[in-house]
Amino acid sequence: EKVIAAGYNHPREIIAVIRPQNATTCSTSLLDKRYIVKDDDLEMAMEIYHLPGSKDHPRAKLIYKKLKKPSSCNSINGLYIFQLSEETSMFTKSGVYSFIFSVRCRDSTVIKHESRITVRPNSNTRHWQLSCDADWSADNAVVDIRLGMPVRCLAARSHDLYGNGIPFLDVHKAVITILGGDDILAQVKDIKVDLSTDLLTLYIRDFLFKTNKLDRVRPNYEAMLKISLSDSELSHPCKVKPGLPSTINMDMSLAWEKNLTPGEVIDDALLEVLDHCGNHVEEGMELIVNTVGLSFVDKCGPVRKVNSEGFVDLRGMLKVVSGFGSEACLTIFHHKKKIFNRTFQIAIRNLKAVKVPESCPAGTFLENIIFEVSDCDGVIDESIHGLQHTLSIRSNQLKDVQGAQYAFEHGRCVLPRAQVPNEPGTVSFVAYHTHFSDLETIIQVPILQVRVNSENDFEPICSYPTSSLSSQDLLSPSQLASCQSVRYIEDALRKVSDEIESIDSNIRSEEEMIKFLDSQKKSVENRIASLKDEIGHRVGAKEITRHKIEENVGTAAAVLCNLSNHKAYEPGRSFKDEVVGIVALLGTVANRDLSRMLSVYLGEDNMLAVVCKTQDAANYFEKYDTEGNVDIRFGIHQEAAKLGVPISRRFPIICLDEIRPYNGDVFWNIRQKKLNLPFPHSKTHKGFRGLAVNLINLSAENLEIITSSGHGLRETLFYRLFGELQVYETRNDMRQAMPHLRNGAISLDGGIIKGDGMLLLGYSDPEIIFPVMPDAPDILEDPEDVFTKVKKMNAEKSVLETVENKIRKAEENRQKLVMKRNKKKRKFDEMAEVMSQPSGSQLDQYHPVSQ
């Protein structure tokens, strides 16, 4: 028996002879004529068998068989010569080759001889094969590795030129290196390895690479994977891709978050997207960019791709749509994970009038009132300029300027002329930026009655007719000074009286403004109350559930809700045809405890299940390519991609026509058409609330949904989900009724029994629950109408807050004016008291200063 290496050149012919019994190989040469049996009637058979493993392998394969008569060669007779062609694939496959020679003698006995040759793999021609997850179907495929994702199983084999596996001997650890040219990009040392039972496959399991050098091999990420063993090394091409987006750096070189203004297009929004190791993520990675107070100029939606440099380029793509003094927010998601959030302050600007008359005569004109837009420091914003920046006036009193627009020039605007009413009082008007209505100011100007002077207009405070004076009453020179003091006090009294009148006029103006603002407040409050009534509790409950479903990004239910909100359906046959809805939105219940427990019983997958009428409708949701993978360019996956929220998990679809319906009686005479199920107990058990299938309330619209066989949602969908599930008040009530349970039971305090012998313990508070409505729902409004009304109500609340702030400010102004008037009145009273004193007693202190 001999051992050779695979690929050994086999002989072209094999010569066999028959020896007499007295011949021995040790005493004679191989072709000694004296010891060769010569019998032309004998035939010799040669069979060659290949045993793929050891010589005891049970599945030997016959690869050669021939019969030969004796012949002669070089004057030697009795030779049995077997020719082997060059094409014979002998000694290429490892294993044992068995040569069996047999001759049937004249007496029918059979002489046999066997020779064995063992062929070992040829280690001098070693080739390597590497695969992820031991999948050898793709021969020598490039190994894909992503940072942050563990390599679950890397399998290595080696074989010779002829495909014979070369076993691994004495291998316990390995070092794995990723090379980018001559550079070491990453390395993991002392990794434990496993060997298969036949020692032909090396397994390296569960290891991670970390490196921040992948930009060196960007954008193809082509590298070499080298595995170093104790006695050998193998190299294999690989692609090492960056990890998933983890960090976003924003180019803030111009600090634009401090200078954003409404209507501005941001020129320097460049987002650098890095993985957890600091490498730029690969080109084409999709991120969802959500904005508040900003909009996309290109109208391409929130899904944005990373460019070849590892950036999301939003330069020139974002426009500020929030008003002055508000905030803008940029939030970025990768699938469900939020990886970036930044809030920016929109520039604060104030609109003020810098030249307003203190008062205006009735029937005349307000002229050249100057308005300025300035920042917090009072600096005029000269960028408020041009036709896109105009000032408007809102007032019921200034009819000639109502609706007119006046252009700003470098932050300033002039109201040239506005006629005031003919009656005295206060004219109030609101001046505001036409496009940014939150930039406004309220102007109040007292309107004074035009007075015609006459000799009887003013009656002197002190009058002494000369005709009534005696000679004793005539003033001496010393008394003349006292008379001058009297005239001075009279002038001072008149001046203080005018000031008090002016303050009184301002007080009345503030009171009129407060009255006007109170009227505005009541009007806004009435509008808010009306909107609340229109939206209603019922719609709110369903919209809360709808909103929770939309937050489950990556689910088919969320995609359907988004499509419903945006009405993004295209004409023609599509997956949405004959879609009934989402389980969680097809029914309501009377209280939150029942809603929570029914949702826990069904589980989130069933609550988010899509319900359609037929199997054909379900077939339009998705299709598969030739390899069985989901085709993301079809059905709901295509729509999900357009919305930027790819579906990342399986989702159930319930086909109503395929459900075996409840076949008992139905209470057709009641509005909810409940099932006439047999009572589960011989007598009413304590705490029994009813059967879950009948505790679900259906809207009038959903009551009209029927299958092709004429069955409704309660008979199909909800009977399929709940069966004869019983509902009890407490766990103790439920346990007492266990002998009478068929499909399980729930209790409102958290107990769940699912079928025979299965309890569900613990506590959970699901996010997705049935809408809670105290009574059976009516037809609900269109979701888009509800959304519009909610948005309008929020806007009205902002207006209400503004009006309340203005009322508070007017009240403060009025209080200040009252205090100022009281002070002036005290001064007036003091001076009037002096005038009432006898002449000369206290006048000296009010004597005018001589010039």
Query: Tens digit of pLDDT for each residue in 584-614?
Result: 999 999 888 899 999 999 999 999 999 998 8
The predicted structure's pLDDT at residue 785 = 58
CA distances from 583 to 271, 661, 764 (A): 40, 17, 20
List of residues 6+ apart from 171 with CB closer than 8 A: 193, 195, 202, 229, 230, 231
List of residues 6+ apart from 195 with CB closer than 8 A: 168, 171, 201, 202, 203
The predicted structure's pLDDT at residue 682 = 61
List of residues 6+ apart from 711 with CB closer than 8 A: 656, 661, 662
- Tell me the β-bridge partners of 579: 612
Residue 302, Cβ neighbours under 10 Å: how many? 16
SS3 readout for 449-499? CCCCCCCCCCCCCCCCCHHHCCHHHCCCHHHHHHHHHHHHHHHHHHHHHHH
The predicted structure's pLDDT at residue 283 = 92
**Residue indicated by tokens 């091999």:** 217
The three-class DSSP label of residue 7 is coil
CB 751 within 8 Å of CB 731: yes
The predicted structure's pLDDT at residue 714 = 93
CA-nearest of 537, 531, 614 to 573 is: 614
CB 802 within 8 Å of CB 517: no
Q: Which residues of the chain have pLDDT under 70?
A: 1, 23-31, 53-58, 86-88, 133-140, 251-259, 450-488, 532-540, 565-577, 681-684, 774-788, 835-851
Q: Which residues of 52-94 form beta strands (DSSP E)?
A: 61-68, 71-73, 76-83
pTM: 0.46
Give me the torsion for CA of 431, 433, 439, 441, rounded to 10°.
-10
CA-nearest of 156, 183, 151, 181 to 167 is: 156
The predicted structure's pLDDT at residue 57 = 53
Burial of 839 per CB tally in 10 Å (0-12, 13-18, 19+):
middle
**Residue indicated by tokens 């920046």:** 389
Compute the radius of gyration of the chain from its Cα atoms. Answer: 50
Helix, strand, coil shares, percent, the chain, to 5: 25, 30, 45
Return d(Cα 562, Cα 303) in angstroms, integer.
Answer: 15
Burial of 111 per CB tally in 10 Å (0-12, 13-18, 19+):
middle
Tokens matching residue 564: 């419903």
Q: Which residues of 124-256 form beta strands (DSSP E)?
A: 127-132, 143-146, 151-159, 173-180, 183-195, 201-207, 222-228, 233-241, 247-250
- Tell me the β-bridge partners of 607: none
CA-nearest of 521, 438, 488, 598 to 803 is: 521
Return d(Cα 816, Cα 151) in angstroms, integer.
Answer: 76
What are phi and psi for residue 319, nearest 5 degrees?
-120, 135
CB 715 within 8 Å of CB 666: yes
Return d(Cα 264, Cα 347) in angstroms, integer.
Answer: 11
Return d(Cα 233, Cα 6) in angstroms, integer.
Answer: 22
Return d(Cα 10, Cα 577) in angstroms, integer.
Answer: 72
Please report the sign of the dihedral spanned by the C-alpha atoms of residue 141, residue 142, residue 143, residue 146.
negative
- Spell 214-235 as b/e; 16+ CB within 10 A means b: beebbeebebebbbebeeeebe
What are phi and psi for residue 116, nearest 5 degrees?
-120, 140
Return d(Cα 760, Cα 687) in angstroms, integer.
Answer: 20
Return d(Cα 488, Cα 492) in angstroms, integer.
Answer: 6
Return d(Cα 134, Cα 141) in angstroms, integer.
Answer: 12
Return d(Cα 230, Cα 561) in angstroms, integer.
Answer: 59
The predicted structure's pLDDT at residue 471 = 41
